[in-house]
Amino acid sequence: MTLGRCAACLAAMLFCAGAWAQGTHPGNAVLINGIEISNQRFDAFYQEYRRSQGINVAARGDQLQLLKRLRREAMDMMIEQELVRQAAEREGVQVSPTEVDATLDDLNEPFKSPEDFTRRLEVEGYTLESYREHVGRMLAASKYLDDIRATVSSVSDAELETYYRDNEYRLTLPEQVRVRHILLTWKPMGTTDDRGAIRKQMAPILEQARDGADFAKLAREHSEDSTARDGGDTGLFHRGQMVPAFETAAFALRPGEISDMVETPFGVHILRLEERKEARLLPLEEIREPLRDHVRQEKQDVAVQQETVRLREQAEIEILVPLGDNEKN
């Protein structure tokens, strides 16, 4: 995990990302070019990183290895953020008071009152003034990375065409179908007899559909699905978007063909295939400029990653805490 891949985490980490001092506090987690990051700050950063990954579990059983990995990733990210902050300071990157104020306003917004925001800062070990300074440093780090990205401003036609050839599988639209369907839902806690009754209820509807009745009208009259008002129209979908039995039936049909009854966890369906679109590679001319933007973004991410690697190779870093043992909830 690198800042190049997780720059978006910056805002989420602002409460706990940049605690630093110069050799004055005991109980430190890491020393980075003479700057100390306290255990308290690292633990806060780690917990915030866990939450950002959707991990809110106790350290037990098969979760323990996951939590160890997250702890190592959090340490790597914190180190990289601090290295970028130091680089921004060396380069004299400037942040205006207006930019800091705007960021503080955004961070304050989720709180019920300014007092709640201040209390949160106190929990994290900040005064409002020290937090303003911290936000300024983190914004400077973000600007430093933006300057690195700005060094990649163009993608040549040759680069674009090479990327297109090498990534055809990613630029191919999958086969899609569009069906109309009629659904009669299972009864809650229904018995086998209840299920049989629903199939019997569907039988005359299926017969009418196969006799040429307007399928959309039948769906509006009988279907219990939310698509009923649209005549049962699902819109286009590809494999993996519907429950398996429904998907299998839909992709097996020919245009205009009506399926047998199909049972899914929702109930009994009948389907009519309205449209099929075969898989196709998007023509380069159709996507040239959006693809150029995508390739430029990838190149910018690589440039940021290379810069953080360079900073780390030149840094003096001493990790002072174990990263794989004694996990806490």
Same domain, 252 and 104: no
pTM above 0.75, yes or no: no
Question: What number is the average pLDDT over the span 44-49?
Answer: 86
pLDDT at 47 over 50: yes
Q: Please indicate, yes or no, if residue 81 is contained in any of the structural domains.
A: yes
The predicted-structure confidence for 177-208, as pLDDT tens digits, reads as follows: 999 999 999 988 767 778 899 999 999 999 99
Query: What pLDDT sits at residue 60?
Result: 52
Question: What number is the average pLDDT over the span 306-317?
Answer: 97
Banded pLDDT at 56 (limits 50, 70, 90): low
Banded pLDDT at 17 (limits 50, 70, 90): very low
Rg (CA), the chain: 29
Tokens representing residue 110 in the block: 């989720």
pLDDT at 4 over 50: no
Q: Please indicate, yes or no, if residue 150 is contained in any of the structural domains.
A: yes
Question: What number is the average pLDDT over the span 265-281?
Answer: 97
DSSP, residue by residue, 146-182: HHHHHT-----HHHHHHHHHHTGGGGEEPPEEEEEEE
Whole-Å CA distances, 182 to 45, 91, 236, 266: 51, 65, 16, 12
Same domain, 119 and 218: no
Banded pLDDT at 328 (limits 50, 70, 90): very low
Banded pLDDT at 234 (limits 50, 70, 90): very high
Distance, in Å, from the CA atom of 33 to the CA atom of 16, rounded to the nearest integer, reads: 19
Distance, in Å, from the CA atom of 45 to the CA atom of 65, rounded to the nearest integer, reads: 19
Query: What pLDDT sits at residue 62?
Result: 62
Q: Please indicate, yes or no, if residue 39 is contained in any of the structural domains.
A: yes
Banded pLDDT at 63 (limits 50, 70, 90): confident
* Own/partner long-range contacts of 104-112 (Cβ < 8 Å, ≥24 apart): 104/131, 104/132, 104/135, 106/11, 107/11, 107/14, 107/15, 107/135
Same domain, 50 and 127: yes
Q: For 30-34, 55-59, 202-206, which range has the lowest pLDDT when averaged over its residues?
A: 55-59
Same domain, 138 and 35: yes
**Residue 182 one-letter amino acid:** I
Distance, in Å, from the CA atom of 319 to the CA atom of 75, rounded to the nearest integer, reads: 9
Q: Please indicate, yes or no, if residue 165 is contained in any of the structural domains.
A: no
The dihedrals phi and psi of 178, each to the nearest 5 degrees, come to -130, 125
Residue for token pair 């001319």: 285
Average pLDDT of the chain? 88
Banded pLDDT at 257 (limits 50, 70, 90): very high
Q: Which of 138, 114, 145, 147 is nearest to 13 (CA)?
A: 138
Distance, in Å, from the CA atom of 327 to the CA atom of 72, rounded to the nearest integer, reads: 12
Distance, in Å, from the CA atom of 179 to the CA atom of 251, rounded to the nearest integer, reads: 9
Query: Which residue did the predictor score with more confidence, 321 or 244?
Result: 244
Tokens representing residue 214 in the block: 């307007």
DSSP, residue by residue, 76-137: HHHHHHHHHHHHHHHTT----HHHHHHHHHHHHTTSSSHHHHHHHHHHTT--HHHHHHHHHH
Same domain, 77 and 33: yes
Same domain, 223 and 109: no
Domain interval for residue 218: 175-278
Banded pLDDT at 22 (limits 50, 70, 90): very low
Same domain, 273 and 295: no
Q: Please indicate, yes or no, if residue 59 is contained in any of the structural domains.
A: yes
Q: Please indicate, yes or no, if residue 70 is contained in any of the structural domains.
A: yes
Distance, in Å, from the CA atom of 194 to the CA atom of 197, rounded to the nearest integer, reads: 5
Our CA angle for 255, 258, 259, nearest 5°, is 120
Sort strands 35-38 and 317-319 into parallel, antiparallel or unpaired.
unpaired
Farthest-apart Cα atoms in the chain, separation: 86
Same domain, 142 and 197: no
How many domains is the chain built from? 2
pLDDT at 304 over 80: yes
Same domain, 193 and 313: no
Query: Which residue did the predictor score with more confidence, 210 or 23?
Result: 210
CATH of the domain at 95: 1.10.4030.10
Q: Please indicate, yes or no, if residue 326 is contained in any of the structural domains.
A: no
Same domain, 233 and 308: no
Same domain, 18 and 147: yes
Banded pLDDT at 1 (limits 50, 70, 90): very low
Question: What number is the average pLDDT over the span 267-276?
Answer: 98
Sheet of 233-238: strand order equals 233-238, 176-185, 267-277, 262-264
Question: What number is the average pLDDT over the span 302-310?
Answer: 96
The predicted-structure confidence for 134-146, as pLDDT tens digits, reads as follows: 899 999 999 999 9
pLDDT at 6 over 50: no
CATH of the domain at 218: 3.10.50.40
Same domain, 273 and 307: no
The dihedrals phi and psi of 182, each to the nearest 5 degrees, come to -120, 130
Question: What number is the average pLDDT over the span 162-186?
Answer: 97
Q: Please indicate, yes or no, if residue 328 is contained in any of the structural domains.
A: no
